[in-house]
């Protein structure tokens, strides 16, 4: 038995000869479907449903704070000069610090202050979705028996609980969504995919200002969903030089699909 659980360029499935009880919830938040899947003896327990509701509520709060499409969000008000950073919510200041760290750790290829059409204005879209998902997942901390998979726009956070079987991640071909390039078992961590398959050439090289077109998709698997997301975006922005760069990402594995069809896989032991 397998159970599909994600949209975009990755998919999630449970495995095992005798699958554990399973339950799922999906809501539309941040302009995308957010899915929560749980496996384990407590999957049907009311506590699991409560944790899912609290997770979705957290993500709605994050959207209200960080959305660049909402005029009343703190990010929009910060951009208009109506708020200072010190006057913003503590979570806004935390994300601001993480964006600064991402800028440094990616050699400027993930730049929250250099979004096309909004140069110089802080836009945390580069990592805020996966940061929010990882933070909201804390609502399942007390349910240690459950394996949890949270999917958001093709990025997936995975927790093992007490379940022995991993989640299976299928990596789609960006040139043919009906084809799976690889499947990998993941117990714990994050899987993030960036590229042009779903949204066109929306990632730019901040150093040149031009769309990044040399890599069709980058999937990164690592212990942190947010950093996997950052690394995947940076890989696409870097272009072909990412083939060598990903070998420096300690504790990660993944797959790059280049524009010429070449597939590059890597696995760096933690």
Digit-coded pLDDT (tens) for 111-128: 999 987 777 899 999 999
> In the chain, how long is the greatest CA-to-CA distance?
58
Percent share of the chain, pLDDT over 90 = 77
> Is residue 1 in some structural domain?
no
Q: Is the pLDDT of residue 196 over 90?
A: no
> Is residue 2 in some structural domain?
no
Round the average pLDDT of the chain to a whole number and report it.
90
DSSP, collapsed to helix, strand or coil, labels residue 211 as strand
Q: Is the pLDDT of residue 13 over 50?
A: no
Residue 201, pLDDT score: 67
Best CA proximity match to 237, nearest among 92, 107, 57: 107
Helices H / strands E in the chain, number of each = 6, 13
How far separated are the first and last CA of the chain, in Å rounded?
A: 31
Count of domains forming the chain: 1
DSSP string, 68-136: SS-TTSHHHHHHTTSS-GGGS-HHHHHHHHHHHHHHHHTTTSS-TTEETTEETS--GGGTHHHHHHHHH
pLDDT interval class at 233 (50, 70, 90): very high
Q: Is the pLDDT of residue 3 over 90?
A: no
Digit-coded pLDDT (tens) for 155-184: 999 999 988 899 999 999 888 888 899 999
> Is residue 57 in some structural domain?
yes
Residue 75, pLDDT score: 97
CATH for 16: 3.10.520.10
> Is residue 5 in some structural domain?
no
Q: Is the pLDDT of residue 131 over 70?
A: yes
Residue 2, pLDDT score: 31
Digit-coded pLDDT (tens) for 64-111: 999 999 999 999 999 999 999 999 999 999 999 999 999 999 999 999
Percent share of the chain, pLDDT over 70 = 91
Look up the domain containing 151 and give its range. 10-267
> Is residue 163 in some structural domain?
yes
> Is residue 55 in some structural domain?
yes
Site of tokens 């409560």? 50
Average pLDDT score over residue span 253-267:
95
> Is residue 192 in some structural domain?
yes
**Residue 71 burial by CB count (10 A; 0-12/13-18/19+): exposed, middle or buried?**
exposed
> Is residue 127 in some structural domain?
yes
Yes or no: say if 251 and 232 are a contact pair by the CB < 8 Å rule. no
* 5-19, 155-169, 207-221: the lowest-pLDDT one: 5-19
């Amino acid at each position: 038995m397998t159970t599909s659980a994600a949209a975009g360029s990755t998919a999630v499935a449970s495995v095992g000869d005798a699958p554990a009880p399973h339950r799922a919830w999906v809501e539309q938040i941040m302009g995308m479907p957010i899915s929560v899947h749980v496996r384990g003896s407590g999957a049907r327990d009311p506590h699991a449903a409560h944790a899912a509701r609290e997770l979705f509520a957290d993500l709605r709060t994050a959207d209200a704070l960080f959305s660049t499409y909402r005029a009343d969000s703190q990010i929009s008000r910060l951009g208009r000069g109506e708020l200072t950073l010190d006057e913003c919510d503590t979570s806004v200041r935390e994300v601001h610090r993480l964006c600064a760290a991402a800028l440094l750790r990616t050699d400027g290829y993930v730049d929250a202050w250099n979004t096309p059409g909004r140069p110089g204005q802080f836009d945390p879209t580069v990592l805020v979705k996966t940061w929010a998902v990882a933070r909201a997942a804390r609502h399942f901390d007390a349910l240690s028996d459950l394996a949890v998979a949270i999917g958001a726009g093709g990025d997936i956070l995975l927790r093992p609980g007490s379940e022995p079987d991993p989640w299976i991640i299928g990596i789609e071909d960006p040139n043919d969504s009906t084809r799976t390039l690889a499947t990998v078992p993941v117990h714990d961590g994050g899987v993030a995919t960036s590229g042009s398959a779903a949204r066109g050439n929306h990632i730019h090289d901040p150093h040149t200002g031009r769309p990044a077109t040399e890599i069709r998709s980058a999937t990164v698997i690592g212990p942190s969903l947010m950093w996997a997301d950052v690394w995947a975006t940076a890989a696409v922005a870097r272009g072909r030089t990412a083939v060598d760069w990903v070998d420096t990402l300690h504790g990660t594995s993944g797959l790059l699909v280049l524009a010429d069809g070449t597939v590059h896989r890597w696995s760096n032991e933690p």
